[in-house]
Structure 1
Amino acid sequence: MILFDRIPMPVAVCGPPGTIMLANAAMAAECDTTPGRLKGQDLLGLFRPQDQAQLYRIAEALRLRRRSRYPVSVTWNSPDGSAREGELTVDTVSDTAGGTPDLLVMLRVMETRPPAPAGDASATASATESRILALLAAGATTAQAAHDTGLTTDGVNYHLRRLSQRWGAANRTELVARAYASGVLAPGVWPPRVVGA
């Protein structure tokens, strides 16, 4: 039991209809509760399947007593209210002679970052940040951007980190894409330039 709670991946053991019998702390955290409060809850009430056909395939496999892993794409709301996506992997964990086996369910969380809403203050960039984004869009390296802006490479990285946190961007490519989408960089011009510059 102690080992089950130390698994960093969200995991639960469910009865055949999807009733949670046991859940680890990571699974409870995804539902903003404790493992004990998940017991008896319907797994599909917490995680919404994106394709009902995936559930039918699992039900048919259980009926025919097939042993395999089955993925189910799901969505749910995180504790902060944002929509999340992931994949439940369902596997049988018991093999009773006359009954339907229990299920081991593992949740793989997809990293999703919602785009900044239009007109949101977080979608803006300072003049220095905008200039760095234009240079990156043109293919400049960190060293080239530092030289052209009069900053150090650490200074450029500092601005990029701040932008990444503010915009929820995973990498520089996403930063540049968001700069175009939010109107910081002018579309359809080469070399890339800041709007209004």
Structure 2
Amino acid sequence: MQEENPMNCGGGSTGSRSVVPDSTVAVFWRNRTAALFDRIPLPVAFCGTDGTILRANPALAAEWGQLAGAFNGRSALDLFHPESWGQLRSIEEAIRLHRRSRYPVAVRWTTVNGVERRGEVSVELVDDTSFDEPNLLVIVRVAEAGTPEKETAAPAVPGGTVHADGTELRILALTAGGATAAQIASAVGLTADGVNYHLKRLSRRWGVSGKAALVARAYTAGILAPGTWPPEPARPPAG
């Protein structure tokens, strides 16, 4: 017996093969693409030609401590400020002429914790045909070197190498208490992918691997308060 292919979308049927409508196939791949888009670790957004955000991923939303859907309809220029407005003219010209290339733009922005970051936005034109108005795929790369992060931290740590901002502190405390990514997301107002993004960023910053190591590092650095349950951030010294 011929095996049925649930994704077969041919024009006719052969034997017992089922035919899936084109619309069903389109929905399947759209959902699959959206899931992959949400798991990209870099901040990414799809924008219209005027810079209006059509969809942002959790990594981008995490920069401002919000859910990704909150950015739909906002202007990318409200979030990212170009170091040189002249770089945008190349993008305007590319949109007009339908040129397929990537256009780097040096930008700066301020996170939810008041931290000023710098990096590069890579803008690429994407569309189905040369006659369609293109969308813009915007990929943000944070500069590792340069202005150091000045995030609001828990108690000062010798050497200043281990620190966490307010959102990260809440995520660390809930992780130490055994909460899942979904439970933490509900508590802090992020998505599960946003929570995992914060944990991975902490792991890279602290040079550790895994949740257990993150929690242990937080306790040994005095970021989480010892002897308390449920776990909570340590209090900064009075005065």
TM-score by length of 1: 0.58
Write the distance in 1 (CA, Å) between the matches of 2:84 and 2:130. 31
Tell me the equivalent position of 2:44: 11
Pick aligned residue for 2:137 from 94, 101, 104: 104
Q: CA deviation at 1:45?
A: 0.7
SS of alignment partner, residue 74 of structure 2: coil
SS of alignment partner, residue 92 of structure 1: strand
Pick aligned residue for 1:50 from 49, 59, 83: 83
Write the distance in 1 (CA, Å) between the matches of 2:162 and 2:41. 27
Q: CA deviation at 1:58?
A: 0.6
Tell me the equivalent position of 2:92: 59
Is 1:89 equivalent to 2:122 in the alignment?
yes
SS of alignment partner, residue 40 of structure 1: coil
CA contact (8 A) 1:31 1:46 kept: no
Identity of aligned residues (%): 47
Is 1:113 equivalent to 2:109 in the alignment?
no
SS of alignment partner, residue 104 of structure 2: strand
Rg larger for: 1
CA contact (8 A) 2:121 2:139 kept: yes
SS of alignment partner, residue 45 of structure 1: helix
Q: 1:154-181 CA deviation, whole Å, 9 max, x = no partner?
A: xxxxxxx8314289xx9xxxxxxxxxxx
Q: Which amino acid aligns with 1:25?
A: P
Tell me the equivalent position of 2:199: none
Q: Which amino acid aligns with 1:69?
A: R
CA contact (8 A) 1:21 1:39 kept: yes
Q: 1:86-106 CA deviation, whole Å, 9 max, x = no partner?
A: 110000121444342001000
CA contact (8 A) 2:117 2:149 kept: no
Write the distance in 2 (CA, Å) between the matches of 1:19 and 1:96. 21
CA contact (8 A) 2:98 2:130 kept: no
Is 1:24 equivalent to 2:20 in the alignment?
no
CA contact (8 A) 1:14 1:102 kept: yes
- How many residues are aligned here? 125
Tell me the equivalent position of 2:68: 35
- Consecutive unaligned residues of structure 1, counting only runs of 5 or more, are 116-121, 123-160, 171-197
Structure 1 residue runs of 4+, over 2 Å off? 95-100, 164-167
**CA-based RMSD:** 2.4
Q: Which amino acid aligns with 1:76?
A: W
CA contact (8 A) 2:55 2:71 kept: yes
SS of alignment partner, residue 103 of structure 1: strand
Write the distance in 2 (CA, Å) between the matches of 1:113 and 1:8. 21
Tell me the equivalent position of 1:126: none
Tell me the equivalent position of 2:159: 163
Q: 1:67-96 CA deviation, whole Å, 9 max, x = no partner?
A: 100001111101110211011000012144
SS of alignment partner, residue 98 of structure 1: coil
Q: Which amino acid aligns with 2:134?
A: P
